[in-house]
Amino acid sequence: MNRAAEHDFREDSATVVTSQRVRPGRSDEYQRWQEKTNRIARRFDGFEGTELYPPDSPDENEWVVVFRFSHLDQLTAWLDSGARRELLDEARPLFESTPTQEVLAGGTPVRQEVITAVVSHEVRPEREREFVRWQEKVLKAQQAFPGFMGSEMFRPVPGVQNNWVVAFRFDTREHLDAWLESDVRKGLLEEGHQIFESYDVHKVGSAFSGWFDFEHGREEGVPPNWKQAMTVVLALYPTVMMLNWTVGFGLSDLGVPGYIGLFVGNVLSVSILTWFLMPLVNRVFSFWLSPARARTRRIHVLGALAVAACYLVSIVVFGLTIG
Statement to judge: residues 59 and 167 lie in one domain: yes
**Which residues constitute the domain of residue 290?**
223-321
**Phi-psi region at 155: left, alpha or beta (left = phi > 0; alpha = psi -120 to 50):** beta
d(CA 64, CA 51): 8
Is residue 100 situated within a structural domain?
yes
Q: How many domains does the chain have?
A: 2
Statement to judge: residues 283 and 172 lie in one domain: no
pLDDT in tens, the chain (323 residues): 333 333 334 445 788 888 888 998 888 899 899 899 989 998 998 888 887 777 766 667 888 888 888 888 888 899 999 999 999 999 999 998 888 777 776 654 444 456 778 888 889 888 899 999 999 999 999 989 988 888 878 888 777 667 888 888 887 778 888 999 999 999 999 988 889 877 777 666 654 555 554 443 344 456 777 888 888 889 888 888 888 778 776 777 777 787 677 778 778 887 888 778 888 888 888 888 876 677 688 888 999 999 999 999 989 988 888 75
Strand partners, 19: 64, 100
Statement to judge: residues 55 and 119 lie in one domain: yes
Is residue 218 situated within a structural domain?
no
> Among 206, 241, 270, which residue terminates a domain?
206
Statement to judge: residues 137 and 106 lie in one domain: yes
Is residue 276 situated within a structural domain?
yes
Statement to judge: residues 45 and 92 lie in one domain: yes
Closest residue by Cα to residue 79 from 18, 136, 144, 126: 18
Statement to judge: residues 52 and 200 lie in one domain: yes
Is residue 9 situated within a structural domain?
no
Statement to judge: residues 188 and 272 lie in one domain: no
Is residue 8 situated within a structural domain?
no
d(CA 246, CA 257): 16
Query: Which element (helix H / strand E) includes 47?
Result: strand 47-53
Statement to judge: residues 267 and 192 lie in one domain: no
Q: What is the CATH number of the domain that holds 50?
A: 3.30.70.100
Statement to judge: residues 161 and 235 lie in one domain: no
Is residue 215 situated within a structural domain?
no
Statement to judge: residues 296 and 193 lie in one domain: no
Statement to judge: residues 196 and 252 lie in one domain: no
Is residue 139 situated within a structural domain?
yes
Statement to judge: residues 196 and 241 lie in one domain: no
Is residue 311 situated within a structural domain?
yes
Query: Which element (helix H / strand E) includes 177?
Result: helix 173-180
